[in-house]
Amino acid sequence: MVATARKKRRASEPQDYPAAAAGTLRRDNAVAHIRKLIVSMKLGVGDRLPGERQLAAKFNLSRGTVREALQFLAALNLVEIRHGGGCFLRASSGENKEVRAEWRDWVARHRGRVLETLEVRLGCETFAARLAARRAGPNDLEKLVEALRVMKAAAEARDVPAFVQSDVDFHGALLLATGNKALQDLVGALGKELIPERAATLDIVGRLPRSFAEHTAIYDAIRQGDSRAAELAMHRHLEGVRRDVFEHLLGDAAIDPKSHVSDEPPSVAEQS
């Protein structure tokens, strides 16, 4: 009865996203602030960024949060971390052609790992979406909304690094909503491993608005408590990512039949 009432209440809510709750600056905010600082300081390629301690003090963040933000930027090849030597700028934005080429090269070099990890994400995250639709509370929905807002702004600005960060945050918030710590640890680690792949895929022409629409569909299903719709929306999103990786990044004309899973998740396909 409680679950049914909750689903009805969600379904009756207006379609506009509710205001996200204010909170402390997290890694995504730290990344944004560091990128803005790079611009305001007029740093050039090869210039050294302020140290972790300075950045933490300037933005009132923990050094751990700053370190995680710098590692994220390093995964995108925007900065280079030299252990014991500091952090140095490689590119100020994702518009740099060399950086964009490096994202694609990374996918080609790690083809097997990328495809295997996407298969695992496809299985685990469709299940996670199903759980999230059943278990997500108001705080979980607010986190998803916050990620969507950053994602929308990034799509409109065609800011791939910012979109990647919001993508990581959205999927992280969804995993948190499942209430399953093992699932969070497993899939969260796999998702972060594919940061360059995410950037390369999102750099494909037309992919940013399409990805935003796919994430919005996932959110809407979770907000309404519709587990089947959430599962299907997630499956379509990740299958779309796999298709783009094959067709646009790996140069294959179509998805390899041996690696193709299904156009629908098992629980949906079996019931249709």
CA angle (51, 53, 58) in 5-degree steps: 95
Q: What is the pLDDT of residues 66-99, one digit of tens each?
A: 999 999 999 999 999 998 889 999 987 767 889 9
Residue 230 Rama label (left phi>0; alpha psi -120 to 50; beta): alpha
How far is Cα 154 from Cα 132, in angstroms, rounded to an integer? Answer: 25
Residue 128: CB atoms within 10 A of its CB come to 25
- Cβ atoms of 192 and 76 within 8 Å: the answer is no
| Tokens 């379904």, residue located | 11
Distances from the Cα of 218 to the Cα of 30, 80, 195, 211, 234, angstroms: 26, 35, 21, 11, 6
Q: What is the pLDDT along the chain (272 residues), one digit of tens a residue?
A: 444 444 434 433 333 333 333 333 466 689 999 999 999 999 999 999 999 999 999 999 999 999 999 999 999 999 999 988 899 999 877 678 899 999 999 999 999 999 999 999 999 999 999 999 999 999 999 999 999 999 999 999 999 999 999 999 999 999 999 999 999 999 988 888 899 999 999 999 999 999 999 999 999 999 999 999 999 999 999 999 999 999 999 986 445 545 555 556 766 545 44
Contact 99, 77 (CB under 8 A): yes
**Domains of the chain by residue range:** 30-89, 97-250
In terms of DSSP bridges, do strands 86-89 and 79-82 run parallel, antiparallel, or are they unpaired?
A: antiparallel
Q: Which residues contact 68 (CB under 8 A, 6 or more apart)?
A: 27, 30
What pTM was estimated for this model as a whole? 0.83
What would the DSSP string read from start to end of 4-68?
HHHHHHHHHS-SSPPPPPP----HHHHHHHHHHHHHHTT--TTPBPPPHHHHHHHHT--HHHHHH
Q: Which CATH number fits domain 97-250: 1.20.120.530, 1.25.60.10, 3.30.70.20, 1.10.10.10?
A: 1.20.120.530
pLDDT tens digits for 108-135? 999 999 999 999 999 999 999 999 999 9
CATH architecture under which domain 30-89 falls: Orthogonal Bundle (1.10)
- Backbone phi and psi for residue 21, each to the nearest 5 degrees, phi listed first: -70, 140
